[in-house]
Amino acid sequence: MRSDFERILKLFVNPYNSKLSDAKYPMDEFYIDCNKIIVGDSSETIDAMVLSELILFDSFPEHQGGGEYFKLTEKGISQLKKIYNVPDENGDNSISETDKVISELKTKIENSEFLDNNLKSLFLDTLFEIETTYKIKCYNASISMCGKLLETFLSNILTIHNIKYEIDQYDRNGRPKATRMEPSLKELIDIASNHKFHDKRININKDLVNLIRYYRNGLIHFSKDYSKPTENQLSLIIVSCLEVVNQHFSLLKL
φ, ψ of residue 68 to 5 degrees: the values are -105, 155
Rg (alpha carbons) of the chain, rounded to whole number: 20
Cβ contacts of 122 within 8 Å, gap of 6 or more: 152
Cβ contacts of 243 within 8 Å, gap of 6 or more: 101
Q: Which of 35-39, 167-171, 189-193, 199-203 has the highest average model confidence (pLDDT)?
A: 35-39
Whole-number average pLDDT of the chain: 78
CB 126 within 8 A of CB 148: yes
CB 165 within 8 A of CB 183: yes
Query: Distance between CA atoms of 204 and 154, rounded to whole angstroms?
Result: 9
Mean pLDDT, range 185-194, rounded to an integer: 79
**pLDDT tier at 85, thresholds 50, 70, 90:** very low
| CATH T-level topology, domain 3-83 | Arc Repressor Mutant, subunit A (1.10.10)
Q: Which of 54-63, 64-73, 80-89, 230-239 has the lowest mean pLDDT?
A: 80-89
**pLDDT tier at 229, thresholds 50, 70, 90:** low
**pLDDT tier at 88, thresholds 50, 70, 90:** very low
Domain ranges (residues) in the chain:
3-83, 97-251
Which of 156, 166, 184, 165 minimizes the C-alpha distance to 248?
156
Q: Which of 42-46, 135-139, 155-159, 176-180 has the highest average model confidence (pLDDT)?
A: 42-46
φ, ψ of residue 94 to 5 degrees: the values are -65, 150
